[in-house]
Amino acid sequence: MTRDTIRARVAQYLDRTDLDTTIKQWIEDTRLDLALKYSFRYLYVEATASTVVGTNKYALPSDYLGHAVLWAGSKKLMKLTPREFDELTPTDIDATFVPRALTVEPGSAISTTSISGPPDYYVERGMEVELYPTPDAVYTLKIKYYATPSSWTTAAAYDDQYDYITTFHSDAVIWGSALRGAIYLDDEQKKANFSAAYDAAIQEMIKREKDIEAEDQHPRFKTWQEYDLTTLKRMFKIY
């Protein structure tokens, strides 16, 4: 469905003809809400940037929705939790101890930002990623992630626009937009009805997307090495 078709349907459900511009914004908000509720494959994108020597923090793209995967050059970086990342501190071998007795130098000012080299790890902190070690050269930083749907303004030029979500999950967009309208109008009955319809449409959307993913997966056949000995004997009738 085009945005204008959805707008007209929402206006009909709300029984209002004076909210066209506002409904367009509700449609925009609903598209984003649905993209946050499911990782649509068509929204999986790639962006690149160049690292700066001595700089270990980089802003994520403004349309970032999550699930970042990073490469520095041709090397895929390992994602860590904030706690794991913060525990990446170096240790030194103390010559006065037996070999391999590792101690951290008391009062050491060494931190993850003071160690430089080709990056191996990264952590997400809000809308930034932090690399470790800190880049010692210029690397091409590649990030794959889920992005927000393309933005539509309320201008009439966008009335004929449509995308994957409004085409295949128009019911979810309609009910989500209508629910926002009911909240705006403080209509308790419509809020209850539209909320239930929106939840059902979301569940149907998720089911449909998962069914599509399942259909796209090709069957994988096991090799003989993956079977245990008992199963192999039974398959070849060796008793």
Would you say residue 65 lies in a domain?
yes
Phi-psi category of residue 201: left, alpha or beta, with phi > 0 → left and psi -120 to 50 → alpha:
alpha
**Range with top average pLDDT, 35-44, 80-89, 99-108:** 35-44
What is the share, in percent, of the chain residues with pLDDT greater than 70?
A: 83
pTM: 0.74
One domain, residues 61 and 121: yes
3-state SS, residue 34: helix
Would you say residue 236 lies in a domain?
no
User: Over the stretch 91-133, which tens digit does the pLDDT of each residue have?
Assistant: 444 555 454 444 545 554 445 556 889 999 999 999 999 999 9
What integer best gives the mean pLDDT of the chain? 87
- Kindly state the average pLDDT of the residues 30-47: 95
3-state SS, residue 118: coil
Would you say residue 147 lies in a domain?
no
Comparison of pLDDT for 144 and 215, the residue scoring more: 144
Would you say residue 108 lies in a domain?
yes
User: Within 10 A of 12 (CB to CB), how many other CB atoms are there?
Assistant: 12
Would you say residue 220 lies in a domain?
no
Dihedral sign of CA atoms 145, 176, 8, 11 in order:
negative
**What is the tally of structural domains in the chain?**
2
* Structural domain of 128: 52-138
Q: Please calculate the CA angle 17-11-207 and round it to the nearest 5 degrees.
A: 170
One domain, residues 76 and 21: no
